[in-house]
Structure formats: C-alpha cells, structure tokens
Amino acid sequence: MLQNRTAQRRRLALVGLAGVVALSLSACAQSQRSADTSNGSGKVGGTLTFGAAGAPKLFDPFYATDGETFRVARQMFQGLVGFKPGTAQAQPDLAEKWDSSPDGKTWTFALKTGVKFHDGTDFNADAVCANFNRWYGQKGAAQSDAVSQYWVDNFGGFSDGAKPSLYKSCTAKDAKTAVIELTAVTSKFPDVLGLPSFVMQSPTAMKKYDADNVTAQGDSFTYPSYALEHPTGTGPFKFGKYDKANNTVELVKNDDYAGDKVKLDKLVFKIIPNETARKQALQAGDIDGYDFPNAADWDQLKKAGFNVAIRPAFNILYLGINQKNVPQLRDLKVRQAIAYGINREQLVKSQLPEGAKVADEFIPDTVTGYTPDVQKYNYDPEKAKSLLKEAGATDLTLNFWWPSEVTRPYMPSPKDIFGALSADLAKIGIKTNAVTKPWNGGYIDGIDQAQADLFLFGWTGDFNTPDNFLAQFFGAPDNRLTTGASPWGQSLADSIKAADAEPNKDKRTQLYQDINKKVMGEYLPAVPVSHSPPALVLKSDIKGLVPSPLTDERFGSVSKG
Amino acid sequence: MLRYTVRRLLQMVVVLLVLSLLVFAWLRALPGGPVSALLGERATPESRHDLIVQLGLDQPIFVQYLKFLGRALTGNFGTSNGVQPGTTAMDLFLTRFPATIELSVFAIIIAVVFGIPLGYMAAKRRGGWFDNATVIGSLVGIAVPVFFLAFLLKYIFAVKLGVLPSDSRQSVTDATRVTGFFVLDGIITQEWDAAWDAFRHLILPAIALGTIPFAVVFRITRAAVLDVLDEDYVRTAESKGLTAQLIRRRHVLRNAMLPVVTTIGLQTGALLAGAVLTENVFAFPGVGQALALGFERRDYPVLQLLIMMAAMVYVVVNLLVDLSYALIDPRIRTR
C-alpha cells in the first residue's frame, strides 16, 4: 500500500507540474486580439473566402507572372491602364487618358488626382516615374527571366545597357502629367501596362522595405520584405497578412479607395491545391467560390445552385507539329493533311466545355488582326489521305505527346483530347506512338527539346495584342515547332517583328491580318484546335463579380449576402 | 545510457549525410525540374538557358552538391520555388511541422486511447463476440487505404452533413499564434473559440490518419496481453489473491506494453507517409502536403530539406522508443 501511495503522490505532482507549465505559458502568451469584436456578417461588409489553387509567389507583382500572385495583386493595386470589365479591351485606370506622338515613341499620360497609396503617399507623376525607373533599374539577380519576366519579355533590357531596352525615360511634366519615351514603336504599348506586373506601387514603401533587393542563391531566389510583407498600392483592398501556418492570405478593405466604395470588409484567399478538395470546400460551405472548376463538374455545380461564371475564351489550344526529327513534316502538304484529318468540330462538341469554339487561326476573334478570311481546314479525311499520297507520306509514324496530371485553362482533359485526335489520325493512316509525361515532370522539357513530333500545347493571352500570341509561337525561328527548319521560319519571325513596330494602327492591323493569312495558308506550322472558356464558380449570394477573359476579376465591387 | 545516446546521434549524422547526397542526386535525375516549373508555357530556349545558368543547374552535380552542403552548414537550405514560393525552405518547414505534429499527436492519441483498452478487453474475452467484432474491425482499419477513408469521412461529415470543416487548420482568422500548435495556442492565450475551432479541424484528418495505427496498436496489445495472461507470474498473482485491478496494472499491462511501445514508435514513421495523403485530402497545410506539392512542382530546396527532416524525425523517434524501454522495463536499465 505504501508503494501505491507514492505512485499516487507522483501522479499528483505530475498534474501539478503540468498546471504550472500551462499557467506560466499563458502568462507569457497574452492574446493579441484587438478589442474590436464586431462580427463581420451582414449585407454590406462581411468576409469573402475564395479558394485558390496555389500560394502566391509573393506580393510584388513586378516579380511575378503567375495567376495566383496576380489574383491577389489585382485587388491591392491599379495600373495606369486597366481593362474594361468582362473584356480584354484596355481602358484608363490610374491614368485618365493618354496620347502618343505621331512617331509612336512618346506617350503622355494624364493622371487621376486625389489618389493616395495605402501608406498615405500621394499618387502623382513622380510616383509614376519612380515606378518606371525602378523597373528599368533592376540589377543583378532581379534581371533574371524568372524574376522580372514580363519586363524582359516586353521591354527587353535594363539601365545597365547590357541588352537594348524599349524603355527610354519618364518625365514628370507636372504633378498630373507623366511623359514616357520609348526607343522604338511597339503594338504592345500602352496595353502592356494593364498587366499586373506594371501596376503602380508606393515609392515610399518600396524604399523603406528595400523592394529591389533580390538575390539568387543555389537553386532559388530570395525576395525582400517589401515583396513578402509590405506590398503597398492604391487598390480597393490593403494587404492584411499571409498566414503561412494556415495557408491563407487576408486582405482588408481600403476605406480611402478613390473608386467606388468597397463593400466587403475582408477578402480571404484560402489555398487549397487539390481541385476536388476545392469543390468539396465549396459544397461544405467553407469557401464562397474557387477558380477553374473542372469542366466535367459544371453541370453538377449548377444543379446544386452555384453560379458557374464562364469567362470569354481568350486562349488557344493547338496541335503542335515539330519539324525537327521527321523530314516529311517539313512538307506543307503533310501538315495540311493533319489539319484536314482531325475532326475539330466533333472534338469541341464532345470534349470541351460549353462556349468553346473551333480555332481558325492562332488568335481569338476578339484580338485585333483577326481575320475570317483565312484558309479553313474543315474535316475532310479523304482530302487528307490524298494529300498524304501526293506527299509520298503514306506510312507515317509520329510520336504524339500529351501531358498527364494537368489541366490548363485551354485544355480541360488532355487525355481525352489526345484520344480523339489520335483516333482521327489513325483513320487517315498516320500511326501515332503515345508518349505521356507529367506537365512539370518532363512534358514541357521534352517539348522544348523537340522530342515530340506532335504535341498538345496552348497559350492564354496576357493582354489584347496579336503580338502577345503570335510572337510567343513564331517570334523566333528557334521555337517549340522548329519553324527554323523551313525556309519561311525566319521570314515569319521577321514579319511579326515588323508588324509590332508599325506605328500606324490601321497599317499594323493590315500587317497582322496578312500574317494570319500566310500562317494558315502557306505555312501552317501547327494546327490551331480550339478556344475554350475557363470558368470560376461562386455561391449564389456573391454578387458583382464580372468574369474576365484575362482572369482580371476585381473584388472591389463584389458583395456578399 | 548517455554514451549510448551520443553514439546513436553520431550515427544519425552519418545517415543524414549519405541520405542528403542520395536525395540530391535523385531529385536531379527526375524528369522535369524547376526551370520548366517556373517558366511554364513562357519558356523560350533563351530564357531556359539563362535560368539554368542563374540557378547553377549547369554545373557538375558534385559541385552543386558541395555548394548545397556548404550553404546547409550555415543553416541556409534555399528558398521554395513551388510550394510556397519566396519562403525559405527552413521557414516553410518550421511553420508546417507543428501542423503535422499536432495532427500526428491527435492520431496517436486516438490510436492509443482506443487501441490499448480495446485490445486488452478483446484479449480478456478471447473468442467472444466482442473479440471477434473488434478483430474484424481492426482488419478493416488496416485494409482501407488512408486516402479513401479520408475522402469518405470528409464527404459524409463535411460535405453532406456539414458538421465538421472540410479543409485547412482553422477558420478563426484573428487567433494569436504562439507555438504554432493551434489548439495549444488557443488554450494558453485563452482564446477558447480558436482552440475549439482548431480542434474541430483536427477531428476528421486525425481519425483518418489514426485508423491504421489504432488497428495495429489494438492487435499488438491483444496479442501481447494474451501472451502475458498465460505467464506463470500472472497465475501466481491471481493465486496470491491480488485484486484484478492490481494484476492488470502491475503485471499484465506493464509487461504487455513493451511490444506496444515499439509499435507506436514504428507507427510514428508510418504516420508521415499517411500524412502526405491525409493532408492532401483535407488541404491541411502540413509537411505532408508540402512534400506532395513539392514533388509535383519540382521544388528542390523544399524536398531536400523535408526529406532530410523526415529521416531525422524517424531516427529520433526510434531512439526515443529505445530509450523508453528503460523506463518501462527496469531490467534494461540495469544492463
């Protein structure tokens, strides 16, 4: 019994110790909650929680190109140029209007007045120039393609002069007038300024938090605290916090927003990488909406009373043809046979979501330079067979690649699309070897290293210029299609550059239409397949969100309940 | 004892070094890589090349490895470029590890709290209906894949019935963070709603994750108790006229616990594997989710660190299990 009592005493001591530990812990861990306990529910106000597929890279969109970063940035920032809601059409945002000199190299922006950054700094011409000069003045690791990619893609080099740059200078003529000078004419300007990468950020905050201090180390980059914790813009929401332990990004209402009054108190992005998990979170009521619902779920979600908001299609899926390894593919007739031999009408009807269209050329019809007057390739297997015979390519076996474990906005189910296309090709006598790899696990690499003869690939437009599509595909002869293997590869690239540099708008449109005609009639480097609309899904009580072809949805005007 | 512990820890360093080399080489032998993950559709031959040079991926692999090792010795494991881009791998580990520990602890609590008593009761009633029912139940527990069970639990209790949350760790957005263990944080800051909310988020994933350990603990306990019940000293104790309670505590359970503790230790390693699946189904931001995402996005720095840390946890837990024998069985202590 004596032993029993010691055991009891020991146990008591243990409980006592645990109590002391808990007490001392709570003594040094006071609740840091604010006294304000107002519970944000009700018609005006409230918290909207949106399911995001991935974590934002950071919060300074200049150093990003990914949709997750941009989605958050679009709520906090504004650019000089914005987009008309629901379209890809550029319209004034922080600039009231703009004019260009006759030679197309000098642009004068008249700025909105009375706008302030979240930290109280005035938005004016000096701030505009500070932003332009900051982009132009990037140094060291920050100049990498993976860091300042949109600048490199659209403006070229930096102030160190190592590579030529499109940007020349910015002058603050007066507080509300900024003049931008370019070194050459480009069709992209000023639409390109609508990209989230080129939004206006507070010069004060950028200086205070060392915004340009990007370093490379080993196999990764390190970003400054401005980009991680202190993004400061002019938009309807201010940065709240990024709760990494709970995988949420929280933005709060900007009461001093210069535009229409913001309705929501809080906007939370909850990161749920798994698509099924996002759907279930919506069904369970844990989130108010999410992006890119699987097209196969649209009907089910609609029936359950959710609002499936379909975006206008601003993308393209194409069947890539790489000329490098199979000499027959350098023959236009063979490529045309492939185009005639695949039943795109049927594919769009059976495999793609509502609202998808067959693609006649490599740009959607909302982009300037689109022309209905191109050679069409309506499904005609007999013609395909005879073209193959003429070309002497009746016994063709091609490596046909498709990506596994991925859906892209332009390609909901790669496997099914591959299945349909390869069956069509078999009917005209082209045998295919199926090769499948994970998107990031060898697919893109293999495509870029020209290992595939046929492959599925695509593009989503960043802004409304044909260059944004055409230059991506054919802008250099060394590309995913190896167009350089054909004699026209170089001249196609040159003609795209020439069109981009044409200052006269009408002439430029004409040049692009000519390119589209030639691409479809004389070159056919690949077969455009479809434009497919991506969607987002929302609870029925979420009002005011306008689906955008550029995924440029702004939550400032959105209300809940 | 101390010498033993030190020797085991030194062995661990060697294990980790060898493992780090293997992981480093293995990751780089995988198809794809951070370059295509970072550039995606935008990759051009030129931008690919620039980035490969910038990240040092063009250098011989042993040079890359030595550089990595040099940085690792200063505590620098690189920055995530896929899972939580911009966050250092170490930060990512430190914010996510508490989540996985919290989840695993709850899973183990479920396994132990239900497994040991049920195992004991089943053994005492060997052959009865209770024994048969629980044995079959435990078989089902082992046989059902974790992700399927997780999915099923979520579908029923979160999506259909709506009684428990379906994802993440907490819905309360203004909770004070102290330790990173959300339930504990809520208790010590006396934010009871936050603690309760975090606890509710743990229930479903912990059940899904705890089922296999529960079934294993149950079966081992049952077998061990059956063994011990046949021992002479139990019979002696019974014939001495000791109370049933005393026999159970002092003679049966204490002797039967040895294999059970070993099992719990080994199961802790298996929990990490289960956590990869469970955390993905419940969008639970722990180490398991980061491993799966890191693999998909070829996040070298994150994978390198997390795999090493997982190995370290495994080794340490096994060491702790070995040391705990001494506490349970005095015969080992004297040796």
For residue A280, what is the nearest residue in chain B, using CA coordinates?
Answer: B159
Residue B33 pLDDT: 78
Indicate whether B118 pLDDT > 90: yes
Closest partner residue to B158 among A244, A247, A280, by Cβ? Answer: A280
On whether both B106 and B64 belong to a single domain, the answer is no
DSSP state of A270: E
Q: What is the pLDDT of residue A40?
A: 40
Contacts of B174-180 spanning 24+ positions with Cβ under 8 A: B174/A33, B174/A34, B175/A33, B176/A29, B176/A30, B176/A31, B176/A32, B176/A33, B177/A245, B178/A25, B178/A29, B179/B98, B180/A245, B180/B94, B180/B95, B180/B97, B180/B98, B180/B99
Does residue A147 register a pLDDT over 80? yes
- For strand A396-404 and strand A454-460, is the pairing parallel, antiparallel, or unpaired? parallel
Question: Which residue in the set B30, B79, B168 is minimally distant from A270, CB to CB?
Answer: B168
Q: Most distant CA pair in chain B: distance in Å?
A: 86
**B45 lies in the same domain as B123:** no
**pLDDT over threshold 60, residue A11:** no
Is A12 a residue whose pLDDT tops 80?
no
Identify the residue among B103, B168, B178, B193 best suited for mutation to test binding to A, counting A beta carbons within 10 A and taking the highest. Answer: B168
A311 falls in which pLDDT band (50, 70, 90)? very high
Q: Is A247 on the interface with B (CB under 8 A)?
A: yes
CB contact residues (below 8 A), chain A span 466-485, against chain B: 472, 476, 478-479
Would you state the pLDDT for residue B112? 92
* Res. A39 pLDDT band, cuts 50 70 90: very low
pLDDT number for residue A236? 96
Q: Are strands A396-404 and A430-438 parallel, antiparallel or unpaired?
A: parallel
Average pLDDT over residues B186-194: 89
**B145 with B287, same domain?**
yes
Is there a single domain that holds both residue B68 and residue B95? Answer: no
The answer to whether position B203 is within a domain reads: yes
The CA dihedral of A154, A156, A158, A164, to the nearest 10 degrees, is -140
pLDDT attached to residue A315: 94
Residue of chain A whose Cα is closest to the Cα of B58 = A219
* Nearest neighbour of A277 by CB, restricted to B67, B180, B283: B283
Shared domain for B154 and B277, answered yes or no, is yes
**Chain B residues touching A322 at Cβ < 8 A:** none
Tell me which of A15 and A253 has the higher pLDDT: A253
Task: Give the alpha-carbon dihedral of B159, B164, B169, B172, to 10 degrees.
Answer: 110
3-state secondary structure of A207: helix
Rounded to the nearest angstrom, the gap between the alpha carbon of residue A180 and the centroid of all alpha carbons in its chain is: 26
In terms of CA atoms, which chain A residue is nearest residue B278?
A277
Q: Report the distance separating Cα B271 and Cα B100, nearest Å.
A: 9
The yes-or-no verdict on residue A43 having pLDDT over 80 is no
Mean pLDDT within A334-345:
96
Q: Is residue B10 part of a domain?
A: no
The yes-or-no verdict on residue B141 having pLDDT over 60 is yes
Task: Answer yes or no: is pLDDT of B327 > 80.
Answer: no
DSSP H helices, A342-397, are 344-351, 381-390
Residue B303 lies in a domain: yes
Q: Beta strands A266-271 and A248-253: pairing type? A: antiparallel
pLDDT digit string, tens, across residues A380-434: 999 999 999 999 988 899 999 999 878 888 998 899 999 999 999 999 999 999 9
The pLDDT of B296-303, averaged and rounded, is 86
Query: Mean pLDDT over residues A265-294, rounded?
Result: 91
Judged by CB atoms closer than 8 Å, whether chains meet at B55 and A266 is answered as no
Whether B62 and B145 share a structural domain: no
The stretch A96-125 carries a mean pLDDT of 95
Q: Do A245 and B285 touch (CB under 8 A)?
A: yes
Q: Do B129 and B198 lie in a common domain? A: yes
pLDDT of residue A65: 85
Residue B275 domain-assigned (yes or no): yes
Picking from A516, A510, A509, A456, the residue whose alpha carbon sits closest to that of residue A492 is A516
Shortest Cα distance from B133 to chain A (angstroms)?
A: 33
pLDDT band at A35; cut points 50, 70, 90:
very low
At A518-548, the pLDDT tens digits run 999 999 999 999 999 999 999 999 999 999 9
Average pLDDT over all residues of chain B = 86
Burial class (CB in 10 A: 0-12, 13-18, 19+), B331: exposed
The residue among B166, B263, B236 whose CA lies nearest residue B205 is B166
CA distance A429 to B302: 47
Chain B residue whose CA is closest to A145: B47
Using CB atoms within 10 Å of the CB of residue A381, give its burial: 0 to 12 exposed, 13 to 18 middle, 19+ buried. Answer: middle
Average pLDDT, chain A: 89
**Least confident span in A238-252, A280-294, B314-328:** B314-328
**Quick check: is B277 in a domain?**
yes
- pLDDT greater at residue A295 or residue A305: A305
| pLDDT on residue B111 | 92
Higher pLDDT, A48 or B328: A48
How much is the pLDDT for A203? Answer: 97
Residues B269 and B170 both lie in one domain: yes
What value does the mean pLDDT take over residues A190-197? 94
Residue B114 lies in a domain: yes
Put simply, whether the predicted model's pTM sits higher than 0.90 gets the answer: no
CA distance A168 to chain B (A): 23
Q: Do A26 and B188 touch (CB under 8 A)?
A: yes
Together in a domain, B195 and B53: no
Give the amino acid at A131.
Answer: N
Q: Does B34 touch chain A (CB under 8 A)?
A: yes
Per-residue confidence at A13, pLDDT binned at 50, 70, 90?
low
- Best of B73, B167, B245, B289 to mutate (most A CBs within 10 Å, chain A): B167
A146 touches chain B (CB under 8 A): yes
Report how far residue B332's alpha carbon sits from residue B335's, in angstroms, rounded to the nearest whole number: 5
Tell me the chain B residues in contact with residue A245 when contact means C-beta distances shorter than 8 Å: 95-96, 98-99, 169, 177, 180, 182, 285
Neighbours of B34 (CB within 10 A): 23
- pLDDT level of residue B167 (50, 70, 90 thresholds): confident
Q: Do residue A221 and residue B281 have CB atoms under 8 angstroms apart?
A: no
For an interface test with B, the pick among A222, A246, A306 (most B C-beta atoms closer than 10 Å) comes out as A246
Distance from CA of B51 to the nearest CA of A (A): 7
Residue of chain A with shortest Cα separation from B186: A31
Q: Which residue has the higher pLDDT, A328 or B35?
A: A328
Helix axes A414-427, A344-351, angle to 10 degrees: 150
Rounded to a whole number of angstroms, the distance from the CA of B128 to the nearest CA of chain A is 33
A299 CB neighbour count, 10 Å cutoff: 12
pLDDT at B98 over 90: yes
Does residue B159 share a domain with residue B264? yes
pLDDT over threshold 60, residue A220: yes
Across the interface, whether the CB atoms of A437 and B171 are under 8 A apart is answered no
For residues A285-307, average pLDDT: 92
**Tokens encoding B309:** 């840390």
Residues B112, B242 within the same domain: yes
B70 touches chain A (CB under 8 A): no
Q: What is the pLDDT of residue A144?
A: 84
Query: If you measure CA to CA, which chain B residue comes closest to A250?
Result: B173
User: Is B4 within the bounds of a domain?
Assistant: no
CA gap A484, A40 in Å, rounded = 60
| A288 vs A272: CA distance, rounded Å | 13
A34 touches chain B (CB under 8 A): yes
Residue B61 domain boundaries: 31-74
Q: Which residue does chain B place closest to A247, by CA atoms?
A: B285
Is residue B8 assigned to a domain? no
pLDDT, position A24: 53
**B134 vs B145: CA distance, rounded Å:** 19
Among chain B residues, CA nearest to A65: B39
Distance from CA of A150 to the nearest CA of B (A): 10
Number of domains present in the structure of chain B: 2
Q: Quick check: A3 pLDDT over 60?
A: no
Could you say which of A65, A217, A441 has the minimum Cβ distance to residue B78? Answer: A217
pLDDT tier, B265 (very low <50, low <70, confident <90, very high otherwise)? confident
In this prediction, residue B257 has a pLDDT band, given cuts at 50, 70 and 90, of confident
Do B300 and B211 lie in one domain? The reply is yes
Please name each of the domains of chain A with its CATH number. 78-223 (3.90.76.10), 315-531 (3.10.105.10)
pLDDT at position A1? 43
Q: How confident is the model at residue B6 (pLDDT cuts 50, 70, 90)?
A: confident
